[in-house]
Structure 1
Amino acid sequence: MAASNKTTAVYRLIMVGSGGVGKSALTLQYMYDEFVVDYEPTKADSYRKAVMLDGEEVQIDILDTAGQENYAAIRDTYIRSGEGFLLVFDVTDAESFQDLNELYEQILRVKNGGTNIPAILVGNKIDLAERRKVPLEEAEQKARSWSIRYIETSAKTKHNVDKVFCELMRIVRPFKNPVRETGPTTTSGRQTKPIKSGKHKKCIIL
């Protein structure tokens, strides 16, 4: 009788926000440890990588959507495929913060799941503190009104970049259908690394 293979969980995360807020910069910093200043906007770019999430090997699938208004009509398709959402705005751009209201409403409408949507509100570009336009308190209040977390990031310095992706996967995890797995090996046959007791659980790219 053939041995059953372990199924690696795939986390499909969607980057949502206006153009120029740093969605691509956050994604590329997380995936490749690179800070890209000038990024040519496209309709959408998809990235997938194996990561360790709390001692379990999983796949993270990030869809970096375009923020331009002319692509809004096809955003429904992306939202429908997503399991978790990073709602990104630029802390130096108050308009990008306001734009998220419509985007969040679109997510709620497409997912049709009430307000219980796995998401994190992300205030990016906090390295530009002297140009800040959106107060911390206002962003935190917005997140509370949506019953989601608020985390501030800098794609340039990588502050909290790993954290937002890892935390979103942890939020998504209870929503996924649990897969009963046997054996300590991955699909490639490698053994998963055990978590040492007393250590903080990590989320690392393999």
Structure 2
Amino acid sequence: MARPGRSRVSSMTGMGGVLRYSAVVLGAGGVGKSALVMRYGKNVFLEQYDPTIEEEYDLTVEYEGKRSRLEIVDTAGVEQFTGINESYIQRGMGFVLVFSLTQEASLRDVDHIRQQIYRIKGGEEDVPIVVVGTKMDLTGEREVSSQQMKELAVEWGLPFYETSAKKGWHVNEVFNHLLARMRKRYPDGMPKGHRHRRKDGQCVIM
């Protein structure tokens, strides 16, 4: 798998001709979804987070010489198997499926979510999905091996990444790869009127 380059997140808005893409971050509670998104969007490490909050981030990203608007929905982990989650999947264009390298059970949750995505998307095999193992810096607590991830990457036909939001390791690569897959799958970007609805109190990074 080719290693995607770095992206740059900027504050520029209102640019004509820039295509918009929506990404949904899914996974069990406590696996580090929000820390991953915050490291990417603001380059900070989130020590504490309210797991019941859903947040939406609106970023302008420059990658491979092109700018895109990337809407990232960071879902609450307690919702991953509910009807609310089905709405996210129906409207999402790409998905980051997150598990913790220190918790093998969270990888089984990701498998369940992966199957749910294919079911809701009508069995589409080219749905843009990237699978992410977090907390790779906690080597002494690790329960999921790199070999296990390599085998699943072949079995599922999906890219896997090991990351550390705390250290900033490989976080940009995750979203760059997903953006590249979304650009290929949806060359015209997000259809008009096809946006996630924000709730009061959600954070939008511009």
Q: TM-score, normalised by structure 2?
A: 0.80
Query: Is residue 133 of structure 1 aligned with residue 143 of structure 2?
Result: yes
How much identity, in percent, do the aligned residues show?
Answer: 35
The reply on whether 1:157 has 2:164 as its aligned counterpart is: no
4+ residue runs of structure 1 moved beyond 6 angstroms?
none
Q: CA deviation at 1:153?
A: 0.4
Does the 8 A contact of 2:97 with 2:110 survive in 1? Answer: yes
- Per the TM alignment, residue 81 of structure 1 is displaced from its structure 2 partner at its CA by 1.0
Structure 2 partner of 1:54: 64
Q: Structure 1 residue 115: deviation in Å?
A: 2.4
Aligned to 2:153: 143
Partner of 1:133: helix, strand, or coil?
coil
Aligned partner of 2:116 in structure 1 is 106
* Equivalent residue number for residue 132 of structure 2: 122
Separation (CA, whole Å) in 2 of partners of 1:135 and 1:23: 20
1:73 Cα deviation after fit: 2.2
**Greater shift in the superposed pair: 19-28 or 169-178:** 169-178
In structure 2, runs of 5+ residues without a counterpart are 1-14, 190-205
**Counterpart contact for 2:26–2:80, Cα < 8 Å:** no
**One-letter amino acid of the structure 2 residue matched with residue 111 of structure 1:** K
- 1:13 corresponds in structure 2 to 23
Q: CA deviation at 1:114?
A: 2.9
Aligned residue pairs: how many?
Answer: 177
State the distance in 1 between where 2:118 and 2:128 align: 11
Structure 1 position 95 matched with structure 2 position 105: yes
Counterpart amino acid of 1:175? Answer: R
Distance 2:183 2:106 in 1: 29
Separation in 1, partners of 2:171, 2:38: 10
- Distance 1:162-1:21 versus aligned 2 partners, 3 A rule: same
Q: Deviations over 1:152-191 (max 9, x none)?
A: 1000001001110011100111111348xxxxxxxxxxxx
The residue number in structure 1 matching 2:90 is 80
Q: Which has the larger radius of gyration?
A: 1
- 2:37 matched to 1:37? no
Separation (CA, whole Å) in 2 of partners of 1:82 and 1:112? 14
Distance across 1 between alignment mates of 2:27 and 2:162: 14
Quote the offset at 1:36 in angstroms: 0.6
TM-score after normalising by structure 1: 0.80
How big is the shift at 1:70?
7.7
Cα separation, 2, equivalents of 1:136 and 1:61: 30
Deviation at 1:42, TM superposition (A): 2.7
Q: Does the 8 Å contact 1:115/1:146 carry over to 2?
A: no
Whether the aligned pair in 1 keeps the contact of 2:52 and 2:78 (CA below 8 Å) is no
* Alignment check: 8 A CA contact 2:28 2:80 kept: no
